[in-house]
Structure formats: structure tokens, C-alpha cells
A and B are shown apart, each in its own frame.
Chain A
Amino acid sequence: MTERTRLVGNAVYGWLLLLPAAVLLAAFTHYPAVATLAQSLFTSGTALRPAEFAGLDNYRFMLEDEVFWRVLENNVWYAIGTIPASIALAMLMAVWVNRRLPLRAFVRMSYFTPTILPMIAVANIWLFFYTPEIGLIDQIAAGFGIGSRNWLGNPDTVLGCIIVLTIWKEAGFFMIFYLAALQSLPPELEEAARLEGASRWHFFRRVTFPLLMPTTLFVLINAVINSFKLVDQLFILTKGGPDNASALLLYYIYEVAFSFFDQAYASTLTVVLLAALAIIAIGQFVILDKRIHYR
């Protein structure tokens, strides 16, 4: 066997090893992405009328679509409502359960439980909380003489309800990352600070918080992606209503694609969603990376 055939044989061998993963990746990630982008440039085809090239018509339609602007606005408020609150809560819980306290394992587990529950189950639990008259919240409120409210039926409160549920679900998950990061901090740092007379808050602000920044960046990116990705609860609680007051972008895409069967427009919205997420993630890395200390 010559040197050349041996090298070719090696290359073939290598490609064969790569093939299974490459096929899966191409078939389920790369092809759909490219297909989505292509579909967004065509009209929706039917059996009678095949799809035609439409250029940017779908995008033009999107800019004039009031529902699109409504769900986008909802999504922005949803992100603003859930991300900082769930991250702050996660950090607080992690610092709390990282200390020596009675029943520590039990407390940690309790905080983590919402994470292991499926979102559908969580939504059902919260559906019971929010139900007018017989729901937990109204029952407690009644005890204080406050009248019943239709929390999920009111356009003013429905998005807030979804936000609270999401924070409850996500904070425990993010807490695990913070807890891992906290446990990798050497305990001498806190001891040195205690000897120097630093208050607990001073130590947190000057040492713990900056050293947690790499984790915060990771969690932040996950939180942003989740705020556009996590819509399971809408199926159980509100179906986007009332009057689209709780519809989020991905839920709207689902409706357009599978209720209205407008594949092309759904593709258009998907492309916009992906582009937005990519820009946000890159922005976070570029802006925050410079200010983070990595060990």
C-alpha cells in the first residue's frame, strides 16, 4: 500500500466516523434553518396554487401586522419581567443555601423542584392558584376581605401572572449554576474579608458578585433565550388571550404555522426571532466579556 492510498484510506475512515453525527446535524438543524429562510421568501403553497417567489413580501406584511407588534411588545415586557427577577432571586437563593443552615439539603431540593417539573404540570398547578373564586390566591385574598378577581381573564394582569409563574419555574434552575460557582470559591476569601472587618454586604458586592459574573453571563444568555423559547404554559393557561394580551412571539409562530397553516409567514417570523436572539447573544458576549474576570 502506498503512502497516498493510506492517507486516502485514513480520510475515508475519518469521514465515516463523522457521518452519523453529520447526517443528524444536517437533517435536523442545518436543513430546517436554510429551508425556513427559503420559505420566508415564498408564498404559502397549496395543492391548487404552488408556492411562488415573493421576495420580501412576507416581511413587508409582517411590519404591517398589528398582532406581530403586539406579541413582540408582550415578549419584551415578558423578558424585562422575568430575566432580572429570576437571576436576582437565583443568586439570593444560592447565597442563602450555600451557608450552613439546618435542613440545608431539604431547602436546596425545594428550590430546585420547580425545575424538574414539566412546564405543563407547573402551568396546571398555577392554573389552580389563579382560578377565580376557588383558586388559592382568591381564597387567601377572601380571608382578608378582598374580592375575587379573574387573574388570567383580565388583559391587565394576565401577562404579570405568566411572568410570576416563569420566575418561579426558572429561578431554581439558575440557582444550581450559582451554587456550583459559589462552592468553587475558596473559603479563605471570606475568612480574609472577615478578618479585615468587611461586612457581609461589602464582601458580596466587592468579591462574591464580581466572581460570579461568568456564571451570570451564562445564566443571562440562557434566560434571554428562554424568554423567547418557553411558551408551554400559554397552552394550558391562556392560549395567548385575552385579546392576545399574553401571546408571546413563539406562541404566535405556532398559531400561524399550525392553526392558520401559513407556513411562509411562520417561517418569516421564525427568521426574525432567530436573528434577534443571535444579535442579543453576540451583544451580551461583546459588551460583558470585557468586564468579567475569568479565573
Chain B
Amino acid sequence: MAAIELIRVTKTWGATVAVRDISFEVDEGSFVVLLGPSGCGKSTTLRMIAGLDDVTSGRVLIGGREMTGAPPAERRVSMVFQSYALFPHLDTGENILFGLKARRVAKTEQRDRLVRVAEMVGLEALLDRKPAQLSGGQRQRVALARAIIAENPICLMDEPLSNLDAKLRHEMRVEIRALQQRLGMTTVYVTHDQTEAMSMADRVVLMRDGGIEQQGPPAALYDVPETVFAAGFIGTPPMNLLKVEEVGGAMVIAGTDGPAVAEAGYGNLVLGIRPEQIAIADNSGIEGRVESCDYLGADTIVGVRVGSQSVLIRAHGRHSRPAGSRIHLHWQESEVHLFNDETGVRMAGVRPLPVAA
């Protein structure tokens, strides 16, 4: 049985459609990430699960029970807000205990749970500090502690790491994931950061313009993107998406005169190839001119102009080639993704052609 189930949920604000007819399930104990650019409806979806926003149509089931119109307090969900939503006049301990006090849990139990949770998130020494006296990371922990002390089976997180610096974000990412697995909490996590989604999720629900673009395990989204949007959203740098045109009966990358990269007869295509799957050769393959070389330490991102388009290549180690120098690219045809140029949908039936090295 799914811990959370959304069935054909739509949310409109007047004439604007925030969420359009989406359905997905969240398995018990799993970590699901709602991923998408800002304004795609992912936060609204989370708020509808929490009951903070009403659904316009469709149903929300939690733990198999109909919860479509139920008030937030009845849904047994905790939530971590992007702004943390800590009560500024209450100290850490009081903030964490707020919900237990509201629900009149016995004093001794409050104390036991507070000790346990504070230890879990490493706040034992900071229980009498006010939020203003805490660092961003510590506030984040308070918000987390407040979410887990309720011992609700479900935890919702709305961009919880977006106010932290890069290093802390990485630490908290690991920590939240570890905590979630240890407690077996069903977690729905909203983010626009695909790195967070890839590294934390059991399942990713990729959203765009209020609809679901693709959902599945992170590896599935990475390996088999169903649309041009999914291909371009995931990965750093994202997949190269190159227009392919028919020139003299051969499908070539727009602006080049060969070699052919896919079989003809399916109209114009978009060819997707991940930067790490492109190899550089000196004199055979697809010709291009170097535009830039960004050295990152472990690898170098080489920008190449191919025909009328830019291609990024992730090359191992250090490469430095002068801008304007001529190079050739090639790849395994098994790594190529082909999409319909108009609809952006993956075209599984079209065969890519080998680009010889």
C-alpha cells in the first residue's frame, strides 16, 4: 500500500493552473523528490499533500485513507519549511516541543523524546538558544528535529537546503538521507536542484508547467530521459541537445556536412548525448572548433562549436587547447538519445548511426 497517493490532482488559482492533472504514488519508507524549475507546481503539490492548500479537483490519499479535504493536523504529516518557520521568541527546546505541547503529550514523554531527538540531530548543547542565536545549519537542524519529534510516518520537505552554503548543503544532504533511512520515514522532498534529487531520491518526480514530465528512479531519468526537457534538466553539465537535419538523404548535425548520426526518414530530430560520453579525436568524427576549456580539477569541460551549435564535453584530467583549434568528436551510438524535434518526446524506434573514431 502506498503511503501517499495523488490521483488526478489539479490546482488552479483563478485562471492560472498551478498543477495540472497529476498522479503519483509514494511507497512507504521511500524518499521521493519532486524536482523541477521554479514555478512548476512542485511546492503547491507538497502543500496539497500537507493540506495547507486545497485541491481544486482530484484526490489525495494518505496511508490508504481519503484525506482530500482533511485539515493538516489530521494527516499525520510533518513539514520542514524553506524558511524553517521557527518561532523566533521560543528557544530551541520550545520550538521542537511546540507540537507535542499543542497536542498535550505528557510532560515526561516530552522530555524523553526531546533528549532523544536533540541527540539525533546534534542539538543537545543548544536547547536554550533562540533561533536568532543559531547559524543557518543549526536552524535547519531545529526544523528537522521539530519534524521528527512528532513521530509522524510522513515528512514533507520544501527546499530545506536552499538557504545553506554549498559545503553545508552537501553535509545536510547526507545527514537527512541517513536520518530518513534510519527512521524509515516516508519523505517527499521538493527541490529545484537536480544534484539533490539524484543523490537522495529513491524516486524522482520531474515536474514542468504544472504537469509531470517523467517519474522513476534517478538512474532511469538519467539513462533514459523520456523528453528533451528531462534530458536537459538532469546532469551537470546537462545533456547536449543538438538539432539534426536531413541534408542530401543523411541526418547530420545542423550546420555540419556529416557524418550522418541517425537513420533518415523520421523528420527532423534532436540528438542528445551526455558530455561525458563524447570522446575527442584529432582527425576523424564530427568536426568542431574549441570555444573554451574550463579546468575543474578532476576533469575539464571543453566547449566546442559544431556547425551552428555548442557542445560541452567532459574530458578526464586536464585539457588545454587554444580557442579556435580544430578537433573531432565521436561517441558510441548506444549512448545517443533521439527525440522528436517538435514534441520533444523520445523516439525509441529510430536507430542512431555509429560515428567512427
Q: Which of B60-105 contact A (CB under 8 A)?
A: 71-73, 77-79, 81, 83, 85, 87-90, 98-99, 101-103
B88 touches A196 (CB 8 A): no
Q: Is B150 an interface residue (CB 8 A)?
A: yes
Are A295 and B71 also in contact (CB < 8 A) when A193-B98, A196-B103, A206-B98 are? Answer: no
B85 touches A194 (CB 8 A): no
B73 touches A194 (CB 8 A): yes
Q: Is A145 an interface residue (CB 8 A)?
A: no
A interface residues (Cβ-Cβ under 8 A, vs B): 186, 188-189, 191-199, 202, 206-207, 210-211, 293, 295
* Binary CB contact string for chain B from 298 to 332 against chain A (1 if under 8 A, 0 otherwise): 00000000000000000000000000000000000
- CB contacts (< 8 Å) of B81 on chain A: these are 188, 191-192
For residue B324, give the distance in angstroms from its CB to the closest CB of chain A.
53
Q: Is B50 an interface residue (CB 8 A)?
A: yes
Q: Is B168 an interface residue (CB 8 A)?
A: no
B89 touches A293 (CB 8 A): yes
- CB contacts (< 8 Å) of B77 on chain A: these are 195
B73 touches A195 (CB 8 A): yes
- Alpha-carbon distance A139/B126, docked complex (angstroms): 64
A202 touches B85 (CB 8 A): no
Q: Is B52 an interface residue (CB 8 A)?
A: yes
- Alpha-carbon distance A50/B132, docked complex (angstroms): 64
A-B contact pairs, 22 of them (CB 8 A): A186-B83, A186-B85, A188-B83, A189-B87, A191-B85, A195-B72, A196-B99, A196-B146, A196-B150, A197-B73, A197-B102, A198-B102, A199-B102, A202-B102, A206-B87, A206-B90, A206-B98, A207-B87, A207-B89, A211-B88, A211-B89, A295-B88
- CB contacts (< 8 Å) of B88 on chain A: these are 211, 293, 295
Are A194 and B72 also in contact (CB < 8 A) when A199-B102, A202-B102, A206-B98 are? Answer: yes
- CB contacts (< 8 Å) of A199 on chain B: these are 102
Taking a contact as CB atoms closer than 8 A, the residue among A191, A207, A295 that contacts B52 in the complex is A191
Q: Which residue of A lies closest to B47 (CB)?
A: A191
- Alpha-carbon distance A292/B344, docked complex (angstroms): 58
Q: Which residue of B lies closest to A186 (CB)?
A: B83
> Which of A188, A189, A192, A197 counts the most chain B CB atoms within 10 A?
A192
Other A-B contacts than A195-B72, A195-B73, A206-B102, 20 sampled, CB-CB below 8 A, are: A186-B83, A186-B85, A189-B87, A191-B50, A192-B85, A192-B98, A194-B71, A195-B50, A195-B51, A195-B52, A195-B79, A196-B98, A196-B99, A196-B150, A198-B99, A207-B87, A207-B89, A211-B88, A293-B89, A293-B130
For residue B313, give the distance in angstroms from its CB to the closest CB of chain A.
44
Q: Which residue of B lies closest to A198 (CB)?
A: B102
- Alpha-carbon distance A202/B81, docked complex (angstroms): 21
- Alpha-carbon distance A45/B85, docked complex (angstroms): 67
- CB contacts (< 8 Å) of A207 on chain B: these are 87, 89
* Binary CB contact string for chain B from 138 to 169 against chain A (1 if under 8 A, 0 otherwise): 00000000100010000000000000000000
A197 touches B99 (CB 8 A): yes
- CB contacts (< 8 Å) of B130 on chain A: these are 293
> A-B pairs with the 5 shortest C-beta distances?
A196-B99, A293-B89, A188-B85, A197-B73, A198-B102
For residue B203, give the distance in angstroms from its CB to the closest CB of chain A.
23
* Binary CB contact string for chain B from 113 to 152 against chain A (1 if under 8 A, 0 otherwise): 0000000000000000010100000000000001000100
- CB contacts (< 8 Å) of B99 on chain A: these are 195-198
For residue B162, give the distance in angstroms from its CB to the closest CB of chain A.
14
For residue A45, give the distance in angstroms from its CB to the closest CB of chain B.
57
For residue B224, give the distance in angstroms from its CB to the closest CB of chain A.
37
For residue B190, give the distance in angstroms from its CB to the closest CB of chain A.
14
- CB contacts (< 8 Å) of B73 on chain A: these are 194-198
- CB contacts (< 8 Å) of A202 on chain B: these are 102
- CB contacts (< 8 Å) of B132 on chain A: these are 295
For residue B69, give the distance in angstroms from its CB to the closest CB of chain A.
14
A192 touches B79 (CB 8 A): yes
For residue B239, give the distance in angstroms from its CB to the closest CB of chain A.
36
For residue A189, give the distance in angstroms from its CB to the closest CB of chain B.
6
For residue B232, give the distance in angstroms from its CB to the closest CB of chain A.
32
- Alpha-carbon distance A198/B78, docked complex (angstroms): 13
Are A195 and B102 also in contact (CB < 8 A) when A188-B85, A210-B89 are? Answer: no
- CB contacts (< 8 Å) of A197 on chain B: these are 73, 99, 102-103
- Alpha-carbon distance A136/B101, docked complex (angstroms): 49
- CB contacts (< 8 Å) of A206 on chain B: these are 87, 90, 98, 101-102
- CB contacts (< 8 Å) of B71 on chain A: these are 194
